[in-house]
Amino acid sequence: MAQIIDGRKISAEVRARVKAETEKLKSENIVPGLAVVIVGSDPASRTYVNNKKKACAAAGIYSEEYALPETASQEELVALVKKLNGKKDINGILVQLPLPKGLDEEAVIELIDPRKDVDAFHPSNVGRIMIGNYRFLPCTPAGVMEMLRHENIEVRGKNCVVIGRSNIVGKPMAMLLMHADGTVTVCHSKTRSLKEITSSADILVSDVGKPKFVTEDMVKPGAVVIDVGMDRDENGKLCGDVDFENVKGKASYITPVPGGVGPMTISMLLKNTVTAAKIQSGIRV
C-alpha cells in the first residue's frame, strides 16, 4: 500500500517558512507585494484568486486585486500590466489564466517584467529554467519537487515519465526532473505505446486533465505517482488523472486529489513573491 504524500501538511510547512521570511523582510522595511489580475468571471479562476488573496494575508504579503470585465480589451489589459510593472510596492504580477477569447495571452505574459513574473511564464524565465540558472519556477512543478524533497524521494538516476507537455506544467516539470539528474520521458496525445512507457517509470507525473486516466496496469510496482490533474468523475466528484483507489495498492508513494499537489501551487507562488521582493531589493537569493 502506497504512502500518501500529504500536500496540505507540506504546504503548511512551506507557508510557515514564507511567513518567517516575510517578517524578517518587514523588519528591514521591505514588504513583499503581489498583484493579481483577473479578467472575466470564470468561477474556477475566481476561486483561485480568492484563495491566493487569503494565502497572502496569512503570510503577511501585501496583495492587490485588479478585476477587469469579460469585455476588457487587449489595450486595457496591456495598460494595466505596464502600470503594475512600474509600481514599486508590487514585486510580483500574476495574470490569472486562461484569459477570455480574443485576448492574446502570449503577448500579455511577454509584457510582464521578468523580475516580477512570479508564475515564471515569461520567455526569459523559461530560458533560465532550460539552462538551470533560474530565479523563479512555475508554481506547480516547483511544488512537486518540494514534495519529492520532503519525502526524501531520490530523483537521481531514476526513470521519470511526465504525461502532458503544457508550458505550465509538463515541459517545466520535465526540465526540473532532468536538473535533478532524472532520466526523463515526456508523453503526450501522439505518444505510441503509452502503457509500455509509463509502466517503466520509477516516478510518474500525470497532467492530462482526464479523470482516472492513469490505471493500475500503467503503473510499475513501487513507483512514485504524482497526480497533477484536477478533474470531475462521472458523479461530479473531484478527482485526479490517476485511478487512485486501484493504483494506491501498487505504488510506493502517491498524491491524493484533493489534498495533494493542489495546495502546493499557491504556497510556491508565495515563495516566488518573497524571492522577487528580495531580488528587487538587492538581496542575494
284 — pLDDT class (breaks 50, 70, 90): confident
**Can you give the residue range of the structural domain that contains 84?**
29-114
| Catalytic residue (choose from 117, 119, 231, 243) | 119
**94 and 41 both lie in a single domain:** yes
Q: Give domain status of residue 71, yes or no.
A: yes
246 is a domain residue: yes
Residue-by-residue DSSP string for 123-179: HHHHHHHHHT--S---HHHHHHHHHHHHTT---TT-EEEEE---TTTHHHHHHHHHH
Same domain, 163 and 92: no
134 lies in some domain? no
Q: Is a pLDDT exceeding 90 seen at residue 235? A: no
Same domain, 100 and 175: no
Residue 160 and residue 239 share a domain: yes
Task: Give me the catalytic one of 96, 117, 220, 231.
Answer: 96
* Residue 18 within any structural domain of the chain: no
What is residue 61's DSSP assignment?
Answer: -
In a domain, 128, yes or no: no
192, 214 contact by CB (below 8 A):
no
Indicate if 94 and 143 belong to the same structural domain: no
pLDDT at 254: 98
Measured distance CA(45)–CA(33) in Å, rounded: 20
Where residue 236 sits, what CATH number does that domain have? 3.40.50.720
Is 52 annotated in the active site? yes
Catalytic annotation present for 96:
yes
Residue 170: how many CB atoms within 10 A of its CB? 22
Residue 216 has what DSSP assignment? Answer: G
Query: CA-CA distance, 84 to 37, in Å (whole number)?
Result: 10
pLDDT at residue 56 above 90? yes
Q: Are residues 256 and 167 in the same domain?
A: yes
Task: Please report the pLDDT score of residue 77 as a whole number.
Answer: 98
pLDDT digits (tens, 9 = 90+) for 173-213: 999 999 999 999 999 999 999 999 999 999 999 999 999 99
Total tally of structural domains belonging to the chain: 2
Contacts of range 113-117, beta carbons closer than 8 Å, 24 or more positions apart: 113/85, 115/276, 115/279, 115/280, 116/84, 116/85, 116/90, 116/91, 116/92, 116/276, 116/280, 117/92, 117/93
Residue 240 lies in a domain: yes
Clarify whether 158 is annotated catalytic: no
Give the dihedral of Cα atoms 189, 194, 197, 198; nearest 10 deg: 90
257 Cβ contact list (under 8 Å, min separation 6): 227, 229, 230, 231, 238, 239, 240, 242, 244
pTM of the model: 0.95
The pLDDT of residue 285 is 82
pLDDT confidence of residue 96: 95
* Same structural domain, 103 and 143: no
Looking at the fold, whether 69 and 149 belong to one and the same domain comes out as no
143 and 257 part of one domain: yes
Burial of 27 (0-12, 13-18, 19+ CB in 10 A): exposed
8 A C-beta contact, residue 161 and residue 185? yes
Strands 3-4 and 253-254: parallel
In a domain, 125, yes or no: no
Side-chain-side CA neighbours of 106 within 13 Å: the count stands at: 2
Mean pLDDT of 270-284: 96
In a domain, 222, yes or no: yes
Q: Torsion angle, CA of 9/270/211/246, rounded to 10 degrees?
A: -20
The one-letter amino acid at 207:
D
The CATH number given to whatever domain includes residue 65 is: 3.40.50.10860
- Examine the fold and report which residue of 71, 97, 114 is the final residue of a domain before the chain moves on: 114
Q: Do residue 44 and residue 147 come from a single domain?
A: no
Q: DSSP string spanning 71-97?
A: T--HHHHHHHHHHHHH-TT--EEEE-S
Q: What is the rounded distance in angstroms from the CA atom of residue 84 to the CA atom of residue 68?
A: 14
Q: Are 107 and 125 in contact (CB under 8 A)?
A: no
182 and 254 fall within a common domain: yes
Closest C-alpha among 228, 218, 165 to residue 196 = 218
In a shared domain, residues 245 and 181: yes
Instruction: State CA 96 to chain mean position distance.
Output: 13
Beta-strand pair 231-232/238-239: antiparallel
Assign 71 a pLDDT band (cuts: 50, 70, 90). Answer: very high
